[in-house]
Amino acid sequence: MTLDPTIWYMIPDATARAAQHAFPRGNRYLTMYETLGPIFTNPDFADLYAHRGHPAEAPARLALVLVFQQIEQLGDAEAAEAVRARLDWKYALALDIDDPGFDATILGDVRTRLLASGAEERLLTLMLDTLVDAGFLKARGRQRSDSTPVLATLRLLTRMTLVAETMRATLNALADAAPTWLTRHLDPAWAERYAVRVEEYRLPKEAADRRALETTIGQDGYALLDAVAASDAPPDLRHHPAGQIRRQVWLQQYDGPHDVRWRSNDDLPPHAQLIRSPYETEARFATKRTTTWTGYKVHLTETCDDALPHLITNVETTSATTNDVCVTDTIHTHLAARNLLPQEHLVDSGYVAADILVDSQQQGVEVVGPVLRDTSWQAREPDGLDIRCFAIDGDVQQVTCPAGKVSVRWRPGSADPGAGPAEIAVQFDPDDCRACPLRPRCTQAKTGPRTLKLQPRDPHEALQRARLRQVTEAFKQLYAARAGIEGCLSQGVRAFGLRYARYRGQAKTHLQHIRIAIAINIVRVVAWVQGIPRATTRQSSFARLVASLG
């Protein structure tokens, strides 16, 4: 398909007159267009289309429809109908009043094009550029970040229903890809076990019967694997995606293939690797305090300067098992690429580590968030000799203790990828420690000397400064602004479907989150222009009464 060379479109006179007559006090989409103008242009997406072929629908308009779809929480068919039926959409899309719109499948096509080209981030970048040009967004201000769980589009399966449903999904895929070949290798018992969707209530209840069925399903899977690997099998079947998924699930759930054995729960891979559904292989199970879910995590970053609307500047979609601290540097990298790095970045303790404090300072960003406290028993005791009581000299690689003794060993460790800087093991002379009058306050070792684990100089010093700062009143007042990000997450969940993935796979889910971020920004800019104040935290009548008594 080829691209329409038109850069942007003027609103037809008939559409403008009808919209202004129908909405004399304005409307969300009219105000958006009048305030921001064209957010996207066709040349922004030129690389997604061929130079020859049938003319494509204007991608600038389709990108806006994807965002409007998220504002209204519409499916593809409903969004395509809204383009045909709604006057305010026609105004914002600069369409003739009698424009017939397009087929709903085109929205799926444009999403596929964006993902295939890795262009999903482009939507948010173009939106942010428009906001900067309009004066609603500036760099070097204050921003805040937080994350929330995202539930994947899948059915929660027990281990047995997982393997049975995986076998069924594989057979369905092979029935489409090579029906004649599958007929020759079909075990008659498979029809009874896998012809219909596997439900837990249909499975055996007795433990012995369940163990027998677990083994049988495992043997069925290995038999199918052998058949696919045989010389008479079509070559494409060996690399069929459904077969690869079945292979991964069997590796995780069984020991085999010669002696098929169901793995115990303790013998399973970690949650970060464990497949939970044959239809959604990227979703992962995670636990955060009392919350458990299967899916992903979304990290939103928004501005929080009082003089401007609070707008989302970055979106990250990660596996549910990814720790927040692994995302902080990525957020800064993406903000730097958009020239939107903040001066102060407010985050909770999950995003903060010593090396992040150092790296962010080198980018001119001050990460404001509580760091983990020293959990050693010496730090908990009023007269304990914790790490702050020791003089560290990294140049000569020595540490002097409160009694004036110098360490005898300084051994740098090896850093694990993604685990922060390598720790340095420090040890004092056993003879010095054994006779030291400060020993009861210093170590609980029966005979051994005091040992320390240090980070490299810059992370260590940054961590100590952060621990001192976070107990000050100035830090508490500054950090209080971080709580506002909860309102952003709440708005995303309540009004824009942020909690639930509409699509399968992390990439498609991330595109959904980007569209949500753009939708929230549009709604907030329109509210700002219309003079609608930011909502405050809602309280029930009873809560207000109790607060008034306090």
Interval 438-472: pLDDT, tens:
999 999 999 999 999 999 999 999 999 999 999 99
Verify that 191 and 139 share a domain, yes or no: no
Q: In whole angstroms, what is the distance from residue 284 CA to residue 549 CA?
A: 46
Is residue 422 scored above 90 in pLDDT? no
Question: Is 441 in contact with 376 (CB distance < 8 Å)?
Answer: no
Contact (Cβ atoms closer than 8 angstroms) between residue 507 and residue 121: no
How high is the pLDDT of residue 7? 67
The pair of three-digit structure tokens given for residue 237, joined into one six-digit string: 């079947």
Note whether 166 and 251 are same-domain residues: yes
- Region of residue 519 (left: phi > 0; alpha: psi -120 to 50; beta: else): alpha
100 CB-contact burial (10 Å; exposed 0-12 / middle 13-18 / buried 19+): exposed
pLDDT band at 168 (very low <50, low <70, confident <90, very high): very high
Please check whether residues 21 and 98 belong to one and the same domain: yes
Contact by Cβ (8 Å): 455, 424: yes
Per-residue confidence (pLDDT) for residue 287, from 0 to 100 = 96
List, for residues 305-340, the tens digit of each pLDDT value.
999 999 999 999 999 999 999 999 999 999 999 999
Residue that terminates a domain, selected from 228, 249, 267: 267
Same domain, 42 and 113: yes
pLDDT value, residue 477: 96
Q: Residue 34 sits in which domain range?
A: 13-118
Q: How confident is the model at residue 538 (pLDDT cuts 50, 70, 90)?
A: confident
Checking DSSP bridges between strand 398-400 and strand 391-393, what pairing results, if any?
A: antiparallel
Give the integer Cα–Cα distance in Å for 370 and 290: 22
Stronger pLDDT, 5 or 254, i.e. the higher one: 254
Tokens of 395: 């140049």
Rounded alpha-carbon distances, angstroms, from residue 119 to 14, 228, 394: 35, 37, 46
Q: What's residue 257's pLDDT?
A: 82
Residue 485 maps to which CATH number? 3.30.420.10
Residue 285 lies in a domain: no
Residue 300 domain-assigned?
A: yes
Judge whether 332 lies within some domain: yes
Nearest-angstrom CA–CA distance, 524 and 36: 12
Structure confidence at residue 359 (pLDDT): 95
Give the range among 103-112, 230-239, 268-277 with minimum mean pLDDT. 230-239
User: How many other β-carbons are positioned within 10 Å of the β-carbon of residue 544?
Assistant: 9
Query: What would the two tokens of residue 292 be?
Result: 């458990």
pLDDT of residue 49: 85
pLDDT score at 62: 96
pLDDT at 288: 94
- Residues with Cβ within 8 Å of residue 474, at least 6 apart in sequence: none
pLDDT bin (cut points 50, 70, 90) of residue 416 is: low
Mean pLDDT of 203-210: 94
3-state secondary structure of 452: strand
Residue 82 has pLDDT above 80, yes or no: yes
- What is the H or E stretch that residue 426 is in? strand 424-427
Say if residue 418's pLDDT is above 90.
no
pLDDT at 258: 81
Are β-strands 344-346 and 366-368 bridged in parallel, bridged antiparallel, or unpaired?
A: parallel
Ramachandran angles phi, psi of 528, nearest 5°: -65, -45
pLDDT score at 56: 74
* Cα Rg of the chain, angstroms: 30
Same domain, 200 and 226: yes
Q: Give the number of residues written for the chain.
A: 550
- Which of the four pLDDT bands, split at 50, 70 and 90, describes residue 256? confident
- How far is residue 123's CA from residue 514's CA, in Å, rounded to a whole number? 7
Are 488 and 544 found together in one domain? yes
- Asked if residue 147 and residue 91 are part of one domain, the reply reads no
323 is a domain residue: yes
- Final residue belonging to a domain, choices 456, 485, 517: 456
CA distances from 529 to 21, 35, 308, 313, 523 (A): 20, 8, 11, 19, 10
Residues 94 and 70 occupy one common structural domain: yes
Share of the chain above pLDDT 70, in %: 97
Residue 2 predicted with pLDDT over 90? no
Q: What is the DSSP string of 115-144?
A: HHTT-HHHHHHHHHHHHHHTTS--SSSEEE
Clarify whether residues 208 and 229 are in a common domain: yes
- C-alpha pair distances (Å), 194 with each of 181, 189, 203: 18, 9, 12
Q: Indicate whether 124 pLDDT > 60.
A: yes
Tokens 């404090």 map to which residue?
Answer: 357
SS3 399: strand
- Rounded to the nearest integer, the mean pLDDT of the chain is 94
The number of C-alpha atoms within 13 Å of 214 and in the hemisphere containing its C-beta is: 20
Predicted pLDDT of residue 272? 96
Cα 514 to chain centroid distance, Å, stands at 11
Specify if 362 maps to a domain: yes
pLDDT score of 227? 94
Residue indicated by tokens 């769980």: 149
Together in a domain, 178 and 322: no
Q: Is the pLDDT score of 199 beyond 70? A: yes
The stretch 197-220 carries a mean pLDDT of 94
Residues 437 and 527 in one domain: no
Domain end call among 403, 433, 456: 456
**Residue 31 predicted with pLDDT over 90:** yes
Q: What is the DSSP letter of 99?
A: -
Q: List Cβ<8 Å contacts ≥24 apart for 61-64.
A: 61/9, 61/93, 61/94, 61/95, 62/106, 62/107, 62/110, 63/39, 63/110, 63/123, 64/39, 64/40, 64/92, 64/93
Q: Under a CB-based contact definition with an 8 Å cutoff, are residues 229 and 246 in contact?
A: no
Q: In the predicted model, what is the mean pLDDT of residues 131-151?
A: 97
289 falls within a domain: no
For 487-510, what is the HEC assignment?
Answer: HHHHHHHHHHCCCECCCCCHHHHH
Terminal Cα distance for the chain, rounded: 67
Give the other-Cβ count within 10 Å of 14's Cβ: 12
> How many structural domains are present in the chain?
4
Tell me the pTM.
Answer: 0.92
pLDDT at position 327: 98
Pair (65, 194) in one structural domain: no
Structure tokens at 150: 């995202």
Please name which of 181, 184, 204, 182 lies closest in space to residue 193, comparing C-alpha atoms.
204
Query: For residue 8, what pLDDT band results from cuts at 50, 70 and 90?
Result: confident
- Predicted local confidence at residue 52, as pLDDT: 66
How confident is residue 379, by pLDDT bands cut at 50, 70 and 90?
Answer: very high
CA distance 505 to 241: 14
In a domain, 463, yes or no: no
Task: Say how far apart CA 303 and CA 194 lie, in whole Å.
Answer: 52
pLDDT at 534: 85
Spatial CB neighbours of 258, under 8 Å, sequence gap ≥ 6? none
